[in-house]
A = this chain, B = another copy of it.
Amino acid sequence: MNTNFGKVTLLSAGPGELDLLTLRAVKALAAADVVLLDDLANPEIVTLAPQARVIRVGKRGGCRSTPQAFIERLMRRYAQKGLHVVRVKGGDALLFGRAGEEIASLREAGIPVAIVNGISSGFAAAASLGISLTHRRHCHGVTFVTAHTEDHGEPDWAALAATRTTLAIYMGMRRIGSDALLRSLPTDTPAAVVQWAGSVDERRLLTRLDRLAADADEAGLGSPAVILVGDAIGESEPTLWARDMASREEAVHARAA
């Protein structure tokens, strides 16, 4: 390892609200020379690194984007100049979001990498709904899965359903009505969508699996969102169900008027 190199910190920005950052993340930001900012992270996070040069490297599925290879080159280039590069990623850096490739690229170049964990949006969504992801009356665990796969295929929904774990589906809004998932679980399985979970713009919907696609469409919910499916979701606070149903009915009413 070249001792003149700086280093790269893969920093988890959490779901959005800045007080959901860890103390370690705040400290790393205050020590950054360069901040590479993901567009799923709250842009206000840069106020915690006023000394740093900030480069926006958004890369949202399907939108105008900074190619992954270019981001990796940027990280290497600045670190090789001896700088401390903080690569800010939404949620937890180690859950989806290409951290694996970035770590491999930096390792190959001999650049030290530190990782600072954070709160992934699936956890923030569960907190918002007032539920455990793994209520032991209902399941033995939770599966975090992305519907946005490298080969543009779909996850094996039947296999996922067979685990009887709660499913936390990321980047799934385009496949929200997946027939394969619908066929694999009871149609009345509780389900929720939480958009911008853990941020000030959070919006949520509680429903059941067979109404998930129609209800999310009707409520105008889109990416970025986490979809939660499983009996544990049925433990959400009763008043939330009532309120979400009410706001949906208001929306329908307003449209019909």
Contact = CB atoms under 8 A, between A and B. Distances in A.
Interface of A: 14, 17-24, 26-27, 92-101, 103-104, 107, 113, 115-120, 123-124, 126-127, 130-137, 140-146, 149-150, 155-156, 159-160, 162-165, 198, 232, 235, 237
16 contacts: A14-B22, A20-B22, A22-B22, A22-B23, A23-B23, A92-B123, A94-B126, A98-B132, A103-B130, A107-B130, A117-B127, A140-B146, A143-B143, A144-B144, A145-B165, A159-B162
A100 B107 CA distance: 41
Given A123-B95, A143-B163, A23 B24 contact: no
Given A20-B24, A143-B163, A132 B103 contact: yes
A100 B143 contact: no
A144 B134 contact: yes
Nearest to A137: B100
A100 B136 contact: yes
